[in-house]
Amino acid sequence: MKPAPFDYVRPASLAEAMRLLQEGGGAARPLAGGQSLGPMLNLRLAQPKLLVDVTGIPELSGAAERGDTVVIGAAVTHAAIEDRRVPDIGQGVLTRIAATIAYRAVRNRGTMGGSLAHADPAADWPTALTALGATVIVRGAGTPHAVAIRDFIAGPFMTALQPGEIVQAIEIPKLSASARWAWYKVCRKPGEFASTIAAVLVDPARGIRRAVIGATGDRPVLLEGDEVSEATLMQRLSGIDPIDRRVHGVALKRALAQVAA
Ligand code: FAD
């Protein structure tokens, strides 16, 4: 199937992009790497009148260290992170996550902001960034505002974004020197979306003990402090298929073993 007709613009400034998106209302839509929106257009699941390509906007394309955080523009690609073309938060964590997303052709185009805005429950950044305690910088008609990622991902393919708002950037806290991180994914075939993802961050210097399970079919499951255990996860996932639940439990157990090693 071919997409329904649409217009395409690639503004060079954030102000122009915001003007186009706000004027277009629900009929205008941001386009980043097109790795999810492209198939949605082809299947006519999305039928925007106007696509506003955000990949030429400097404010969305850069990354920088800012105090105890790394700020990554929404249009930064997975490949740029994999290739260390942006600062890391420590221990090469972001690089390692990026390298496990799909395969290189997808990583060359797919962006961190697009992945968060799409909020596929099986995607990697929503789970990883929840575990890392990231903050999403949302841009609407006024000044940008910050939304904790646990509030930003509202459910499967649902976010806190309001019509006319975009993801401008993602702020990710740096790890302390003594932090331990584990990232454990199960994919049936290399490059496929995961059947389960377990991310664990133990950072005693910042008082953090956190585990997040992704690809459960819903928003990432967040466990903190004493909740971080396989038993609690099994309770939280009591409504899903028992075999899937078991697979998520095994992933968490293996991720916990990695941080304990
Ligand atoms: P687009 O497709 O351009 O946009 C996606 C949605 O986000 C659209 O609704 C768009 O309007 C909106 N959007 C884009 N940018 C913004 C913004 N800045 N602000 C607000 N809204 C915005 N991902 C994984 O995590 N793990 C995988 O294993 C994986 N496997 C994949 C395999 C294949 C074959 C493909 C095609 C994709 C796969 N992906 C996977 C998804 C991919 O990595 C991208 O992250 C994803 O497609 C979204 O990023 P994008 O930049 O392509 O966004």
Q: Pick left, alpha or beta for residue 26 (phi over 0 → left; psi -120 to 50 → alpha; otherwise beta).
A: alpha
**Rounded Cα distance, 208 and 60, in Å:** 29
Domain with CATH 3.30.43.10 in the chain: 7-53
Whole-model pTM over 0.95: yes
Ligand 1 midpoint to CA 155 (Å): 16
Q: What was the pLDDT predicted at 161? A: 96
- According to CATH, where is 3.30.390.50 located in the chain? 180-260
- Is pLDDT of 1 > 80? no
With a 6 A CB cut-off, is 48 part of the ligand 1 pocket? no
CATH class of the 7-53 domain in this structure = alpha beta
pLDDT tens-digit map of 134-152: 999 999 988 899 999 999 9
Between CA 128 and CA 123 the distance in angstroms is: 9
For residue 108, which phi and psi values (nearest 5 degrees)?
A: -65, -30
In this prediction, residue 204 carries a pLDDT of 95
pLDDT in tens, 35-45: 999 999 999 99
Domain 180-260 CATH class label: alpha beta
Mutate to test the pocket of ligand 1, among 106, 127, 145 (most ligand atoms within 8 A of CB): 106
The pLDDT-based confidence of 26 (bands split at 50, 70, 90) is: confident
Whether 77 is in the pocket of ligand 1, judged by its Cβ within 6 Å, is no
Atom of ligand 1 nearest to the CA of 123: 25
What's the CA gap between 179 and 176, in Å, rounded? 5
Q: Reply yes or no on whether the pLDDT at 261 is more than 80.
A: no
Q: Please, which pLDDT band fits residue 190 given cuts at 50, 70 and 90?
A: confident
pLDDT in tens, 88-120: 999 999 999 999 999 999 999 999 999 999 999
Predicted confidence band of residue 129 (pLDDT cuts 50, 70, 90): very high
| Percent of the chain's residues with pLDDT above 70 | 100
Distance CA 149, CA 247 (A): 25
Looking at domain 58-173, its CATH class is alpha beta
CA of 25 to the centre of ligand 1 (A): 21
Residues 6+ apart with CB under 8 A from 11: 17, 20, 52, 53, 56, 57
Q: Is the CB of 36 under 6 A from ligand 1?
A: yes
**Most ligand 1 atoms within 8 A of CB, residue of 47, 53, 118, 195 to mutate:** 118
pLDDT of residue 25: 85
Neighbouring-strand partners of residue 172: 70
CA distance 99 to 10: 28
Distance 113 CA to ligand 1 centre (A): 8
In contact, 206 and 234? CB cutoff 8 Å: no
Q: Residues of the chain with pLDDT > 90: what percent?
A: 94
- State the span(s) of the chain assigned CATH 3.30.465.10: 58-173
Helices and strands (H, E) in the chain, number of each type? 11, 14
Q: What is the pLDDT of residue 90?
A: 97
Ligand 1 centroid, distance to 123 Cα (angstroms): 9
